[in-house]
Amino acid sequence: MALSSTTTLTLFFMLLFLPHITSSSPANFAGSTCLRVSPTKFVDSAEEVITVLQQVTSILSRFGNVFGNSRFSHAITDCLDLLDLCSDELNWAMSASQNSNGKDNSTGNLSSDLRTWLSAVLVNPDTCIEGLEGTNGIVEGLVSTGLVRIMSLVKNLLLQVDPISDHFETKLGKDRFPSWLKDADMKLLKTNGVTADAVVAADGSGDYTTVMDAVMAAPDNSMKRYVIYVKKGVYVENVEIKKKKWNIMIIGEGMDATVISGSRSYGDGWTTFRSATFAVSGRGFIARDISFQNTAGPEKHQAVALRSDSDLSVFYRCGILGYQDSLYTHTMRQFYRECKISGTVDFIFGDATAMFQNCQILAKKGMEKQKNTITAQGRKDPNQPTGFSFQFCNISADSDLLPLVGSIPTYLGRPWKTYSRTIFMQSYMSNVIWSEGWLEWNESFALDTLYYAEYMNSGAGAGVGNRVKWPGYHVLNAASQATSFTVAQFIEGNLWLPSTGVTYTAGLTN
């Protein structure tokens, strides 16, 4: 979609200055009626989970830094961070259940918020267990019972939240601002001068020479947008935006000009979770005109370029480049617009509620006899709102795979977890996609519980005549069936995307 110069300029200033998560967000439209139990009962159940979290954390803490820079040490660090995130997410849920208009009610739809945060609490212990596998059987045995207990309790918590959804429609015309935007912010949007809070330049011409230094200097728990401008260049570093760094925005000079590059991998002793070149947990993150890459190569197996646990995060015109496991959409609600994402095996994976719009999805050449799978979505429970939705995307072969199209199998996805959920709609698929469309994970695992769907796609790889015949695979023929996977409904985009300034299409198109 081509943008007018006026629209582009408006978008730029909105992205720079508009606070992302604020206490002045739209009022709650779902209300506490989404709870199937009393708020007191919900809080009691959540506190039971926190008690078990504290017990497991106490055990894991004894092993911190015991084994140095090893995969086991990284796994322990992962677990401690993940369980810490669980505590925050449970506290948000408890607070919102008692005061649905509080600052922790991020979108104004209490049901969506609670189910999102509880889903993250369900995912995090599972990621901890996966990281510990094959490292130290004694420690894994000590904590696995507690971690499984946490997941069981959280599944029961999810059952206490009614999956209702009141989709608030934002009344915006062309180049209009949301009604809740303050006058002072509107004046800022109309100014010609833009000053970032911090400038990163490798040549020393900015405030910092590394992105991580600029992130560390950002305020904690900020309700105001904090803008870091990164000048063109390749920044070889691993960046982690921790949970307290809210509302950070990173702007580069273009996905081909500003690149953050790393090479951590499972093959070199890192956990998949810790291998990320760029990782963000702080809420309300925005990235624009920048690339994140992992150069470990296909032979090093899992090697993440970008990992996000940031709720209500946006990635606009970003490159996410790697091989196996390039993009780890770990948890929370995420929106990707006009991004370029490349890889080989499961190169978009995780258990977020992630929407991809107008993105270029590029399959690459991997190792010999290796099959490409674009997605490996990790939904674990039918009550989770999570999944992947691709709309108006272009699914093609990268330049290294083009000469080999037809000889290297490439599939839309495979079921990593029992209730894996992915839909491709109104997208273009080249002949890189094999006629079966989808690949098994392990024989018949999850084939009757997954939800894979296609709707109104085009291109040589979009034919559904020879697609898999699994019980969980669906060809959608009516718009009413696909509407649930649009921006407005799947990620409640009309409640929060206008405040980010990013371009998006709320529903389906003719």
Which residues are known to be catalytic?
Answer: 346
- 87 phi, psi to nearest 5 deg: -60, -45
Which residue from 358, 414, 361, 420 is spatially nearest to 388, judged by alpha carbons?
A: 420
- Is 466 in contact with 436 (CB distance < 8 Å)? yes
How many helical (H) and strand (E) elements, i.e. helices and strands, does the chain have?
9, 24
Query: Which residues partner with 357 through β-bridges?
Result: 337, 391
Q: How far apart are CA 206 and CA 162, in angstroms?
A: 50
Cα-only R_g, the chain: 22
Burial class (CB in 10 A: 0-12, 13-18, 19+), 302: buried
- Within 13 A of 335's CA, how many CA atoms are on the CB side? 30
**Structure letter (DSSP) for residue 324:** T
Helix/strand/coil for 74? helix
First vs last C-alpha separation in the chain: 15
Q: How far apart are CA 389 and CA 357, in angstroms?
A: 8
| Residue-wise burial string across 1-37, b where 16 or more C-beta atoms lie within 10 A, e elsewhere | eeeeeeeeebbbbbbbbbbbbbeebbebbbebebbee
Q: How far apart are CA 83 and CA 60, in angstroms?
A: 10
Sequence-separated (6 or more) residues with CB below 8 Å from residue 144: 129, 132
Q: How far apart are CA 473 and CA 471, in angstroms?
A: 6
Which residue from 341, 357, 310 is spatially nearest to 488, judged by alpha carbons?
A: 357
Measured N-to-C along each axis, helices 137-159 and 110-132 cross at an angle, to the nearest 10 degrees, of 170
Residue 344 corresponds to which tokens in the numbers above? 């080989």
